[in-house]
Structure 1
Amino acid sequence: MQSLQLVQLSADVFTVCLQHALATEREEIMGLLIGEVDDESTVVSIAASLILRRSDKKPDRVEISEEQLVSATIFAEDLAYKTGKPLRVVGWYHSHPHITVWPSHVDLDTQAMYQQMDSSFVGLIFAVFLTEQSTKAHEVQVTCFQSVETSSSRSRIEIPLVIVQPQNALLSTCFETLIQLPKIFDEEENETFSKETGGIEGDFLTEQHNEAVRTIALGHIAEKMTRPMMEVLAERNQYSKTRLQMLRNYHKFLMGKLEECGLLL
């Protein structure tokens, strides 16, 4: 396959990925991207995403299970059947909290592994919780890349990335993915709690400490993730209602013009 020329990212998928990246500034997050590839124009179109539960959480890397990769493939096949489009897993994304947007050597190795299975596979990195030095304003950086072999090591090649209007057929899928985010983080916290308390039965102080840590974490999820998400969705719903009313008024106006011209049967 020729080198990729362009990656088109649905605006709704961008929203989901960014919300996911902003969900935590202590560890990296990861998800998979679903779309289709035009081999003739060498363009990748990303139309949906899948948030993955992390099997290992670290500040500088993130790992997922092989079972989740299989589940993502099945999820993409189901979307392909529902939409009639040749959808498949076409990429992955992860976050870089408080650090540069450029991929690390671990990112390049991971990307190279994916490209061995699919040469059109792409990677997105969302650098979040950054501060612009001159204005002290918060900023977000995004890059799209692939891994290439050099004489001595691997390096990145940047792929042009554009954000496009979402496909209506997958609009509900993107919102369903978004609202799964708090649930997935809740599952991660409960799993961590179970691991930490598994071998300390009878140690009252340690049990109470771990319970308090979990309670604080769940409160953080509700305060920093669930509530802002509800506010965004409420604003989106109000925007949709306003736009629907505008379209209805415009339709009524056009029908009136047709009636005045005697063209309405």
Structure 2
Amino acid sequence: MGKLIGLDKVVMDADVFAICVQHALSIEKQEIMGVLMGEVDETECTSRIKAVRILNRSDKHADRVEISPNQLVLAVDTAEQLEDTFGKPLKVLGWYHSHPHITVDPSGIDVNTQAGYQVMSIYFIGLIFSVFNIDSATKKNKIHLTCFQASGHLRKDVELVIQSVPLRLHTLREIAGLPDILVREEEETCESNAEQDELAILHNDTLKTIKLVQIVSNLTRRISDDLEERSTTVSQRIKILEKMKRELQNDLQSL
């Protein structure tokens, strides 16, 4: 397979990677998707992913997902608004979606979709998270990830490097806003069924209530616990740094 001119590597900030994984694990029976934003290092032929935008799905399917033009426009606006955070406006440089219960390999539709996005930029990349795969030996959920581009009608793997960074405010807001997005999706689904008979409406309202409870119990609580652990870790690091500062000040005074 020939080399795709323009892109050699993708460097993704760890906080972006964390929210993509959290998003992929939020729904087991349908694919999820989001948009990746960052900057291009043309000297090193590298896409540097700095932020993420979780998208509201208008269509929910177990085997496919797509980004509407309106959602891409919103993602572009979000990227430009992040100028204050990063000191420069970012670009939309990729998309990600999940493969629940199936392999991480992109389908023919995934490759064709990626090829269409690469018309916008040769640095545009795709990520797929294969989730909810139980290892028969350990009985634990295994997560697989692939980073790819399209080369003709074929997939081309791209090196992905995860870069350690602190949790940024934008990413924190995206994580905290994920339950709201899922709730909004359920409400929109119910609104689309508003013209059904009373029995169907009652049935759908019951399903909606069950799904909202699942969002709160399975996702909101998990996000809250994760952020609580992050807060505890940060507090511990602050105490260590304060101790080091006092020791250094004492050393200076003794000189």
The interval holding the TM-score normalised by the smaller chain is over 0.9
Counterpart code for 1:72: A
User: Aligned runs of 1:1-265 on 2, under 5 Å?
Assistant: 2-149=5-152, 154-166=153-165, 171-196=168-193, 198-200=194-196, 203-261=197-255
Q: Displacement of 1:128 after TM fit? A: 0.3
Structure 1 residues 112-132: Cα deviation after superposition (integer angstroms, max 9, x where no partner):
000011111000000000122
Amino acid in structure 2 at the alignment position of 1:159: V
Which amino acid in 2 is paired with 1:174? Answer: T
Q: Any conservation in 1 of the 2:81–2:89 contact (CA below 8 Å)?
A: no
Change (3 A) 1:142 1:239: same
Q: Secondary structure at the match of 1:57?
A: coil
Asked if the contact 2:31–2:60 (Cα under 8 Å) also holds between the matched residues in 1, the reply is yes
2:93 alignment partner, SS class: strand
- The alignment covers a number of residue pairs equal to 252
Alignment TM-score, normalising by the size of structure 2? 0.95
Shift of 1:189: 0.1
Report the alpha carbon displacement of residue 138 of structure 1 after superposing the two structures with TM. Answer: 1.5
Conserved 8 A contact 1:5-1:160: yes
Deviations 1:137-193 (A, max 9, x none): 2210011000011xxxx1111111111112x5x711111111110000000000001
Aligned-pair Cα RMSD in Å: 1.4
Residue 83 of structure 1: how far off its partner (Å)? 2.3
Give the % identical residues. Answer: 43
Which residue identity is paired with 2:124?
A: F
TM-score (ref. length: structure 1): 0.92
In structure 2, runs of 5+ residues without a counterpart are: none
Query: Does the 8 Å CA contact 2:82/2:89 hold for their aligned counterparts?
Result: no
Shift of 1:81: 4.3
